[in-house]
Amino acid sequence: MSSSVLSPNSVKSSSAQPKTLSWLKRIKPALWLVPFTLFFYLFQLAPMVWVFTNSFVYDGEFSFENYVEVLDSAFMMQAFGNSLWLSFWSSVFGLTIATLLVSSLRRVNSKIRDGVIAFTNMSSNFSGVPLAFAFIIILGTNGAITLLLKQYGLLGDFDLYGKWGLLAIYIYFQIPLAVLLLYPAFDALSDDWQAAASLLGATTSQYWVKVALPVLSPALLGTFIILIANAIGAYASVYALTAGNYNVITVRIASLVSGDLFLEPNLAAAISVILMAMLAFITIINQWLISKSYAGRK
């Protein structure tokens, strides 16, 4: 009868094989992140690094001249002011309308609620040039609603192609996004809370001020920041509506990188960096407010 003896090398190889398989199982999920990481680098990090480095290039040399030129230009400061004005007020009105709409949706039939959410999903993708064209048909100089309201003297001097017309179109595309972001947050509210508050003598307004809004404040603040970023970055709608004649910062950046006579990509990069810094500052303030809100609820 022959007996087999395991050598030390065979023992090591057999013990190393399960370790190798275990290591491969652990690293396999990370391999799926490689395409995403590559995509994120090529279309997010690389352009950001290029914009940041080239913002300091002026006549082929390292300089802060691009930033000085932006900050000293009244025209550029007006563009920043117009963009911030449109972003802030469209976010305020869009968030207010969306909050009222989502709050009402919780009280209606599920079929109606599903229909409204489906319509909101569809309208959230209706933006850019088609949205501008729709507003021109409806509220333009010879738009259907414009002529009807002017006939009864209800419209006054409303100009779709000016500040208030742009605010209207900004509010329109802010509402669907705010609804989709806020809808899941309202699930945190329990109907029993309002009933309990009512039994304790609280009115509906007191319930919202003392109970509902503090619970919803992190979602409201987060949505508000996203709406501001969404509005600041809007380009196609405002350009299609005004043909680039209204001074907002996205139109200024586009004119500097696509113009035939005034092609200044480094100056556009400096404007983009300032815009990114503004959004980063707003986001930091938002995160601080959200952390304070969560701390106050504990």
- Phi and psi (nearest 5°) for 153? 70, 30
Which domains are assigned to the chain? 90-296 (1.10.3720.10)
pLDDT of residue 20: 65
Q: 189-214: per-residue pLDDT in tens?
A: 877 887 888 888 888 888 888 888 88
**Six-digit token string for 3:** 């007996």
Residue 1 has pLDDT above 50, yes or no: no
**Six-digit token string for 190:** 């329990």
pTM for the complete prediction?
A: 0.80
State the pLDDT confidence band at 67, using cuts at 50, 70 and 90.
very high
Contacts of 140 (CB under 8 A, 6+ apart): 146, 160
Q: 116-126: per-residue pLDDT in tens?
A: 888 888 887 78
Comparing CA positions, the residue from 229, 259, 224 lying closest to residue 244 is 259
pLDDT of residue 214: 82
Residue 86 has pLDDT above 90, yes or no: yes
State the pLDDT confidence band at 293, using cuts at 50, 70 and 90.
low
- Phi and psi (nearest 5°) for 109? -60, 145
pLDDT of residue 2: 47
> Mapping DSSP to helix (H, G, I), strand (E, B) and coil, where does residue 34 land?
helix
More confident residue, 155 or 88: 88
How far apart are alpha carbons 173 and 165 in whole angstroms? 13
Q: What is the mean pLDDT of the chain?
A: 82
pLDDT of residue 6: 46
State the pLDDT confidence band at 80, using cuts at 50, 70 and 90.
very high
pLDDT of residue 31: 78
Q: 251-275: per-residue pLDDT in tens?
A: 989 888 876 666 888 999 999 999 9
How far apart are alpha carbons 267 and 55 in whole angstroms? 6
Averaged over 25-33, what is the pLDDT? Answer: 76
pLDDT of residue 212: 83
